[in-house]
Structure 1
Amino acid sequence: MSGNREKLLAEAVRLREDGRREEARQQLLALCEQFPQDPEVAYQTAWVHDTLGLEAEAVAHYVRAVEQPGLSADDRRGALLGLGSTYRILGRYPEAVTTLSDAAAEFPNDGALKTFLAMALYNTGRNHEAMEILLTLLATTSKDADISNYRPAIEHYAMDLDATM
């Protein structure tokens, strides 16, 4: 990796974090020209496009980021979540479901991926699956005492909302 690449990438991330997103976008697009196969540059470029509301432009960068090796596990998870969420925002629901399903399988303990998957499933009319995911997530992660008291029932109904005890 080029030291210059690392410096410019870190600077672009700082610009984005400081709210100077358009400057970050310009710098990241220039880095994409220099390093077209770099998954980290692609991920950061996708992310800044998303923060600017330029979801359609973000997709190709997300795809480039996740289709090649080189991202840390955390960045890969973030890129898959970003791609799936962006597909959903763009109304590309089947692609969102596929991306988020695969990501949730790859990162089974990630509640955010499951939540976005549930939203995408809802958008495709797969409401039972969406509710199953959300109820299971609620039952297994909630710190609310009242929910914890009903965890067995919630988990039971998560499997089949039409069931009776």
Structure 2
Amino acid sequence: MDIHDVRNGPLAEAVALREQGRPEEARERLVALAARYPDDAEVAYQTAWAHDVLGLEADAVTHYERALTGAGLGSEDRRGALLGLGSTYRVLGRHEDAVALLAGAVEEFPDDGSLRTFLAMALYNTGRHHESVRLLLRLLATTSDDPSVQRYRRAIEHYAEDLDATE
């Protein structure tokens, strides 16, 4: 079976199991596929995701890393793998790794608010509170539909640059 057949058959079936709320079955199938196709980035990404869903973050790391070093991930899946690995590093206490990975991901996908949010959390975990709050304030000012936030957008953006300013 070539990889195209795998993606349209067993891989699609395993992803469907995860989406149907059967993550353990999905994980079992994906682990078998990952062993059979160790160089396939899409299989690695889906295998990582299945581990993450089950709270098996430590087991997800290798699969995320393999997905990101391999070829064949589409832009949306690459973004998801970067977010997943960055979040997983943070959960595992690898905060500096999370910051480095997520900062690079934000450069690659500058319009993705979820990446900036997870970067802010990782920055917080490293004690870089000002950077974290600054990032969150900028994100809030630019993405919130709340009329009261938008009314004060300029002030929020100003204070994001200088959190210690009082005027």
**Structure 1 residue 160: Cα displacement:** 1.2
**CA distance in 1 between partners of 2:30 and 2:68 (Å):** 17
**CA distance in 1 between partners of 2:93 and 2:23 (Å):** 25
Q: Which moved more, 1:1-10 or 1:107-116?
A: 1-10
**CA distance in 2 between partners of 1:71 and 1:98 (Å):** 21
Equivalent of residue 20 in structure 1, options 7, 19, 22: 22
Aligned to 1:157: 159
Aligned to 2:91: 89
After TM superposition, list the pairs within 5 Å mapping 1:86-165 onto structure 2.
86-165=88-167
**Relative to structure 1, is the Cα distance of residues 8 and 128 closer, same or farther in structure 2, using a 3 angstrom cutoff?**
same
Aligned to 1:42: 44
Question: Where do 5+ consecutive residues of structure 2 fail to align?
Answer: none
How well do the aligned residues superpose, as a CA RMSD in angstroms? 0.9
**CA distance in 2 between partners of 1:155 and 1:4 (Å):** 48
Aligned to 1:67: 69
**CA distance in 2 between partners of 1:125 and 1:2 (Å):** 45
Aligned to 2:60: 58
Identity over aligned pairs, percent? 64
Question: Where do 5+ consecutive residues of structure 1 fail to align?
Answer: none
Residue 47 of structure 2 aligns with an amino acid whose one-letter code is T
**CA distance in 1 between partners of 2:131 and 2:8 (Å):** 42
Task: Find the residue that maps to 1:10 and give its secondary structure.
Answer: helix
**CA distance in 1 between partners of 2:83 and 2:4 (Å):** 28
**CA distance in 2 between partners of 1:74 and 1:132 (Å):** 26
**CA distance in 2 between partners of 1:4 and 1:105 (Å):** 32
Task: Find the residue that maps to 1:2 and give its secondary structure.
Answer: helix
**Structure 1 residue 70: Cα displacement:** 1.0
**CA distance in 2 between partners of 1:115 and 1:47 (Å):** 19
**Relative to structure 1, is the Cα distance of residues 4 and 135 closer, same or farther in structure 2, using a 3 angstrom cutoff?**
closer
Q: Deviating runs (4+, > 6 A) in structure 1? A: none
State the TM-score, normalized to the length of structure 2. Answer: 0.96
**CA distance in 2 between partners of 1:162 and 1:95 (Å):** 28
Aligned to 1:30: 32
**CA distance in 1 between partners of 2:8 and 2:34 (Å):** 13
Count how many residue pairs are aligned between Structure 1 and Structure 2.
165
1:65-106 Cα offsets, whole Å, 9 max, x none, are: 011221010000000000000000001100000111000110
**Structure 1 residue 5: Cα displacement:** 4.3
8 Å CA contact 1:5, 1:31 repeated in 2: no
